[in-house]
Amino acid sequence: MTTTTIATLPRSIYIEPTSRCNEFCQQCPRTLLSREDDRDLTFDDFRKIVDQFPVLDRVVLHGLGEPLLNKDLPQMVRYLKDRGTYVLFNSNGIALTLTKGQALIDAGLDEYRLSMDGSTRETYAHVRGVDAFDKIWRNVNAFVKLQQKQDASKPAVSLWFTAMRENLHELPGLVDKASENGIREIYLQRLVYFEEGLAASKQALFHRALPEELAIIRQTQQLCQERGITFKAAGAASPVESIVRDFGERPWSGCQRPYTLTYITSSGNVLSCCFAPFGHRSAKEYREERVLGNIFQESIEQIWHGERYNQFRNAFESDHPARHCAQCGVNWSY
């Protein structure tokens, strides 16, 4: 197989501001099998990363950690906005103080995505490993009111729900929570799992949703329509389609991320995408199959055009891609 030539560097990247987190989510690789040390990305290191990319259309400032734990996050947002880059991140909302919220508004953040996996305190604590449900909603409510008081159109605040068997019944309740707190968009994400990896496959709805579970999703669509809330699935499918659609024998083949995007951890490790940290079985697999280089040891030019990245792309174009590609639904996340 010939090596695929990629002429330009990616214009869309993920940068992980920190690998630290204040939650212990049962479906997160950081909780069960993290292969990175806890580290905050310094602003100087952040700038060294960003300055290697001539053009950046879109930067996602999150990884496996909670972005708001990095004190330099607003400064990072501002640095990117001064370049004309679209900037967003997912957050659990625990550390969303008014001071940080104001700093993010002032920095010009485009999107704030609230990750919320339950509409009750009990379910949230079970899934996330911390009792912070009420605090989060107080924070979010105060942040939205702060925006409204200043007539600030940015950041757009949306809610992201990871659907599992044990929490799907609470999705309709989140419509009420969103409406009460001024959130106008809800996104459904399906649980990512591996047979022997991240989370028990029995919790996943993909390709195995029961009629009553699909009915809950349709009920949520109706409730959102009544309340003027947009309800979508993460990626390129509708909420129901994201659960039931058959993506074929080679679901990864429609993905363009190996050629258009890259993901950089707070330690400088370069991975193929946001799915790459999930489901590895060992430190050896993570190191040898997932990590394609380290941006603090080589330039992004060397890594992007290097042997390991090209080996990854060649495998991707075959019937035997890296395991995280083979088991990715492509439309799982965006």
* CA separation for the pair 36, 12 (Å, rounded): 23
Determine the pLDDT at residue 198: 42
The full set of domain ranges for the chain reads 12-327
pTM of the model: 0.89
**Fold category of 12-327 in CATH:** TIM Barrel (3.20.20)
Quick: pLDDT tens for 230-253: 998 765 456 655 555 555 677 777
Q: State the average pLDDT over residues 195-215.
A: 57
pLDDT-wise least confident of 164-173, 198-207, 300-309: 198-207
- Tell me the sheet residues that pair with 252: none
3 state DSSP class of 2: coil
Determine the pLDDT at residue 326: 78
In Å, what is the CA distance from 252 to each residue of 7, 133, 204, 311, 331? 22, 36, 19, 16, 9
Does residue 138 register a pLDDT over 50?
A: yes
Does residue 332 register a pLDDT over 50?
A: no
